[in-house]
A and B are shown apart, each in its own frame.
Chain A
Amino acid sequence: MSYLFYFLPEIFILSVLSFVIVLDLFLKESKKNISYYILQISLIIVFLYLFSLLFQKNISNYELYDISNFTNLFKIFTVLLSIIIFYYSYSYLQRFKIYKSEYFIILIFGLLGMMIMVSANHLLILYLGIELLSLSLYTIIAYNRTSVRSSEAAVKYYILGAMSSGFLLFGISLLYGITGSLLYDEISSVIESMNFNNQDFSTHSIGLIFSLIFILISIAFKFGAAPFHMWIPDVYEGSLTPTTLMISTLPKVAIFVILIKLTSSIFASLEIYWSEMILILAVISVLIGNIIAISQTNIKRMLAYSTIANVGFILLGIYTGPENGYEAALFYTITYTLFTAAVFGLISEINIGDSSLEKIDDLGGLNQKFPLMAVMILIVMLSMIGIPPMLGFYAKFYVIQSLVLSGSTVLAIFAVIMTVIGSFYYLRVIKVIYFDDENTSISPSLYHLISYVFVLTLFLLGIFPNLLSTIISFAIGNL
Chain B
Amino acid sequence: MIPVSYYLFISSLLFSISLAGIFLNRKNILIMLMSLELMFLSINFNFIIFGNYLNDIAGQIFVFFILTVIAAESAIGLAIIIVLYRVRNSINVDDIGGLKG
Contact = CB atoms under 8 A, between A and B. Distances in A.
Asked whether any CB of A lies within 8 Å of a CB of B in the complex, the reply is yes
Contacts of B81: 155
A151 B84 contact: yes
A173 interface: yes
Nearest to B22: A163
B50 A173 contact: yes
A148 B40 contact: no
Contacts of B83: 142, 145, 151, 154
Contact of A149 (B46, B56, B59, B99): B99
Contacts of A145: 83, 86-87
A157 to B, nearest CB: 9
A181 B59 CA distance: 9
Interface in A342-373: none
Contacts of A163: 19, 22, 36, 39
Contacts of B22: 159, 163
Contacts of A238: 99
A326 to B, nearest CB: 29
Interface in A115-163: 124, 127-128, 131, 135, 138-139, 142, 145-149, 151-156, 158-159, 162-163
A159 B43 contact: no
Given A155-B84, A177-B53, A135 B39 contact: no
B39 A124 contact: no
Nearest to A231: B99
Q: Which of A156, A159, A203 has the most CB of B within 10 A?
A: A159
Contacts of B43: 166, 169-170, 173
Contacts of A162: 36, 73, 77
A180 B8 CA distance: 15
A233 interface: yes
Contacts of B84: 151-152, 154-155
A81 interface: no
Nearest to A163: B22
Instruction: Output the residue of B32, B50, B65, B88 with the most chain A CB within 10 A.
Output: B50
Interface in B37-78: 39-40, 42-43, 46-47, 49-50, 53-54, 56, 58-59, 61-62, 65-66, 69, 72-73, 76-77
B48 to A, nearest CB: 10
Interface in B1-21: 4-5, 8, 15, 18-19
Given A127-B65, A131-B69, A166 B36 contact: yes
A53 interface: no
B10 to A, nearest CB: 13
A180 B54 contact: yes
Given A151-B80, A154-B83, A159 B72 contact: no
A177 B50 contact: yes
Contacts of A156: 96, 99
A31 B100 CA distance: 40
A138 B76 contact: yes
A177 B84 CA distance: 39
A176 interface: yes
Contacts of A158: 76-77, 80
Contacts of A153: 99
Nearest to A183: B58
A303 to B, nearest CB: 15
A66 interface: no
A234 interface: yes
A173 B65 contact: no
A182 interface: yes
A152 B86 CA distance: 12
A174 interface: yes
**Pairs A-B, 4 closest by C-beta atoms:** A177-B50, A173-B46, A234-B99, A166-B39
Interface of B: 4-5, 8, 15, 18-19, 22, 29, 32, 36, 39-40, 42-43, 46-47, 49-50, 53-54, 56, 58-59, 61-62, 65-66, 69, 72-73, 76-77, 79-81, 83-84, 86-88, 96, 98-101
Given A127-B65, A148-B98, A181-B58, 13 more contacts: A124-B62, A142-B79, A151-B88, A152-B84, A154-B83, A155-B84, A162-B36, A162-B77, A163-B36, A166-B18, A169-B43, A234-B100, A238-B99
13 contacts: A131-B73, A135-B73, A138-B80, A149-B99, A151-B84, A155-B29, A156-B99, A163-B39, A166-B36, A172-B62, A174-B46, A237-B99, A238-B99
